[in-house]
Amino acid sequence: MNHTQRLRQTIEDEIVDGVRVPGERLDEVQLAERFGVSRTPIREALLQLAMTGLIEVKPRRGAVVSTPDPARLLEMFETMAELEAACARLAARRLTPSHQAELTAALDACRQAAETGDTTAYYNENTVFHAVIYRASRNGFLCEQATALSRRLAPFRRIQLRTRNRLAQSCTEHAEAVEAILAGDEALAAERMRAHVIVQGDRFSDLILGLRRDSAAA
C-alpha cells in the first residue's frame, strides 16, 4: 500500500466509523498539516474516495462527505436488502457447524451490546453479525459485493441505530433471521433479512432526519 492509499484508507475509515459525518467538508490544507504531507497526495486520496461515492467534490466547497439524495439512498438500501437476503438464503442452505457457531456468538454479542444502549458498541457487533452471514453464504463473489456496499452504507446504517428503540428492534430482527437460517428455511431467512435491512416508511423518514441533524452539526 503506497502513501496515497494509506491516506485514503485512513480518511475512508473515519467516514465509515462516523468520525466524519455526511455533509462535512474535508479541507485539503488541514488534512495535509495533520498528516505532514503536501496537498498532492491528499488531493489524490480524495479523488479516489470520490470515485467510490463516499465523498463528493463540490464547486467552491471542495470535498465533502457524501450525502446522497433520498431517492438514491433508498435505491442503495433496496440493493443492500436484496444482497443480504441472498446471503441469508444461501446461508440457510449451506450453513456449516463453524459458521453456525460464529453466527450464534455474533447474535449473543449483539444482544449484550443492545442491553448497554451503546450505539457504537452495537454498531461494531452488528457489522460482525452481518459479515458472518455473508461468509456463511459460501459464495465469495456475493460476499465481496455485500461487503463493499455495506461499507458504502456504513455511515447511514450507523445513523439508523440512533433512532429510539432501534437497538432492541434490530436485535429482535437478528434473532428472527438466525432462527430461520438455523432451521434451514431459505425463503423465510431471505424474507426476514430483507425486511431487516430495507428502509421504508417511518424508518426512512427517521434516517433522513438523522442525516439533516448531522449535516447541520458539521
Burial of residue 92 (number of CB atoms within 10 Å: 0-12, 13-18, 19+): buried
Distance CA 153, CA 126 (A): 13
Q: Give the DSSP letter of residue 69.
A: -
Distance, in Å, from the CA atom of 53 to the CA atom of 29, rounded to the nearest integer, reads 22
Q: Where are the domains of the chain?
A: 3-65, 70-217
Of the candidate CATH numbers 1.20.120.530, 2.60.40.10, 3.30.70.20, 1.10.10.60, the domain formed by 70-217 belongs to 1.20.120.530
pTM flag (> 0.85): no
Strand order in the sheet with 25-26: 25-26, 62-65, 55-58
pLDDT in tens, the chain (218 residues): 578 888 988 998 888 777 888 889 999 999 999 999 999 999 999 998 888 778 888 887 789 998 777 788 888 889 999 999 999 999 999 999 999 999 999 999 999 999 998 888 998 999 999 999 999 999 999 999 999 999 888 877 777 777 777 899 999 999 999 999 999 999 999 999 999 998 755 565 666 666 555 555 55
